[in-house]
Amino acid sequence: MRTTDAVWLAPGEPQEIQSDLVNRFQQEYGRAASGTWFAPGRANLNGEHIDFHAGRCLPLALAHGTYVAAAPRTDGQLRLRTLDPSLDDGVTTVAPDAIGPGAAVEATGHWSQYVSGVLWALRELGDSQPEFQVDPDFGADLLVLSTLPIGGGLSSSAALECASILAFLALGTPFGQENPLQNLNAALTKQHRKELASACVRAEVEVVGAGTGGLDQSAALRARPGKVLSLDCRDFSVTPLDIGCILRGYRLIAVDTGEAHRLADGQFGQRRADAEAATALLGLDRLRDALPERPRKADVTHVLEEFDRLSEQLETLEGRSIAACRRRLRHALTEMVRSEKLHHLLSGDSYGVRHIASTIGDILTAGHMSMRDDAEVSFDVADMVVETALAQGAEGARLIGGGFGGSVLVLISPAAIPKLTAALERISRSIRLLDVAPSAAAHAL
Ligand code: GLA
């Protein structure tokens, strides 16, 4: 049998990656890097396409992520290069007047926008928070290396944003000067991390133009090692929850299908717009408010009945198909019910649940069916990976992230992994596996 080691994507050794990156920085820019910052990618147990509806998400940080080595400049410019072969097009220079929403950008959708957007958003945050005030002439040289698959649905974009914002905070603000190098880590409070995550969201929404809802940035900046972050998107409060009960005797694996997704293209926005049209018809500002605190299936049925009543006389909803809007609505509502159930299971209400792994596995798989049939964001390879994982004895599996490409999360016992990897290799040679070990949030190295 062919060895399956090649399908695993290792997170690498942070110290080795840092020292390699710092050497490459010296070669590229002819001067030393002032530091290196890291932000992780994320997996998500549940809560897809509901962060922007104020639902609950249950992400955890990966050991894989994005490293940024940087040094400050005093001419307001950004010079950026990535070592990712699929994105590398040499050094990109962003002039000071091209930083921010609506600024002249050479190529829309270029990865540099995520970084320049974050510098703009940090400047905005600094306007109301003096310790985060960025020096007006501040600019930087950056070299980026990611151990995440780009576009793999594991938040490579948010990892880039969050590592970059720490670099800018460290190099361009009074807060960074007072807390040099790793001192930054202890100095950053939970509240700071929350504010930085929301600045990264602003960058992605207002500069890049992607409809992100905050799940990814919250995970990258606020996750805890060994924990799932239960993120209530009504107020972005977080409760770190132990997942020892799942991982005892089981493993979580992210299967990168090798089909890259793009959030900035139209489909993600269309799905979101369908659900927002349904929300508006229900007379609500945020869809989470359609359900009670601890929702059940019957509550979903009531809301769907109300939707049917309100849409009965209509041909379309804001020009959209009513049936499609109803499916998006059903996905969002059932996903909210699953999230609340998981939250309570992991909060300790699971006492007495004998087969917690299989209960959680069932929630994962139900989430996938909803992504496939109601949100309609899945794709053939993801569906095949889910079916294959279940056939090989996984407790559960689901597409995670925005969809239209990306990764499947699998909960499985270690004994079943060799057969699973062999079966996955038969589906596609582009498939890669990442071990999901709940890891630390963004930090200075
Ligand atoms: C992307 C977005 C997130 C979230 C997920 C789907 O990752 O950036 O905000 O909406 O899709 O859950």
pLDDT (tens digit per residue) in 287-314 = 999 999 999 999 999 999 999 999 999 9
Give the model's pLDDT for residue 2.
Answer: 45
Domain edge (last residue) among 196, 225, 240:
240
Choosing from 45, 46, 48 the residue with most ligand 1 atoms within 8 A of its CB, the one to mutate for a pocket test is: 48
| Six token digits for residue 274 | 């369908």
* 280 and 352 fall within a common domain: yes
pLDDT in tens, 384-402: 999 999 999 999 999 999 9
> Considering the entire predicted model, what is its pTM?
0.96
From the CA of 51, give the closest atom in ligand 1: 10
Q: What is the CA radius of gyration of the chain?
A: 22
Residue 279 has pLDDT above 60, yes or no: yes
Q: What is the pLDDT of residues 132-155, one digit of tens each?
A: 999 999 999 999 999 999 889 999
Residue 413 has a pLDDT of: 95
> Both 160 and 223 in a single domain?
yes
User: Does residue 234 sit in the same domain as residue 247?
Assistant: no
Find the domain containing 325 and state its range: 243-435
Residue 402 near ligand 1, beta carbon < 6 Å: yes
Query: Could you tell me if 213 and 96 lie in one domain?
Result: yes
Q: Whose CA is nearest to atom 11 of ligand 1?
A: 402
CA of 320 to the centre of ligand 1 (A): 22
**141 and 283 share one domain:** no
Residues acting as catalytic residues: 216
- Whether ligand 1 lies within 6 angstroms of the CB of 333 is answered as no
Looking at the predicted structure, is the pLDDT value of residue 104 above 60?
A: no
**Contacting residues for 178 by C-beta, under 8 A, at least 6 apart:** 131, 187
Q: Is the CB of 51 under 6 A from ligand 1?
A: yes
Residues 191 and 300 in one domain: no
Residue having the nearest C-alpha atom to atom 12 of ligand 1: 48
**Model confidence at 350: pLDDT above 70:** no
Is the pLDDT score of 227 beyond 80? yes
The residue whose CA has the least distance to atom 10 of ligand 1 is: 49
Ligand 1 pocket residue status of 48, Cβ below 6 Å: yes
In the predicted model, what is the mean pLDDT of residues 370-394? Answer: 97
- Both 146 and 187 in a single domain? yes
Residue 169 placed within a domain: yes
What pLDDT, on the 0 to 100 scale, is given for residue 27?
A: 98
Tell me the pLDDT band of 266, cut-offs 50, 70 and 90. confident
What is the pLDDT averaged over residues 9-30? 98
Q: What separation in Å is there between the alpha carbon of 314 and the centre of ligand 1? A: 30
Report DSSP state, residue 133: P
pLDDT category at 3 given cuts 50, 70, 90 is: very low
Domain presence at residue 3: no
Q: What's the pLDDT at 248?
A: 83
C-alpha of residue 286 to centroid of ligand 1, in Å: 16
Same-domain check for residues 200 and 293: no
Residue 4 lies in a domain: no
Altogether, the residues listed in the chain come to a count of 445
Residue 198 lies in a domain: yes
Q: What average pLDDT does range 236-243 have in this prediction?
A: 96
Say yes or no to pLDDT of 176 above 80: yes
Provide the CATH number for the domain around residue 29.
3.30.230.10
Specify the number of domains making up the chain: 2
Count helices and strands (H / E) in the chain: 14, 13
What share of the chain has pLDDT > 70, as a percent? 95
Give the span between the Cα atoms of 204 and 206, in whole angstroms. Answer: 6
CB-count exposure of residue 390 (10 Å: 0-12, 13-18, 19+)? middle
Tell me whether residue 441 is in a domain: no
Does any domain span residue 205?
Answer: yes
> Average pLDDT over the chain, rounded to whole?
94
| pLDDT at residue 433 in the model | 97
Report the CATH number at residue 399.
3.30.70.890
Per-residue pLDDT at 1: 40
- Is residue 1 a part of any domain in this protein? no
Distance from CA of residue 320 to its chain's centroid? Answer: 28
Q: Is the pLDDT of residue 435 over 80?
A: yes
* Domain end call among 189, 210, 240: 240
Q: Is 405 in the pocket of ligand 1 (CB under 6 A)?
A: no
Are residue 172 and residue 197 in the same domain, yes or no?
yes
Domain C-terminal end among 240, 265, 294: 240
Q: How far apart are CA 13 and CA 172, in angstroms?
A: 28
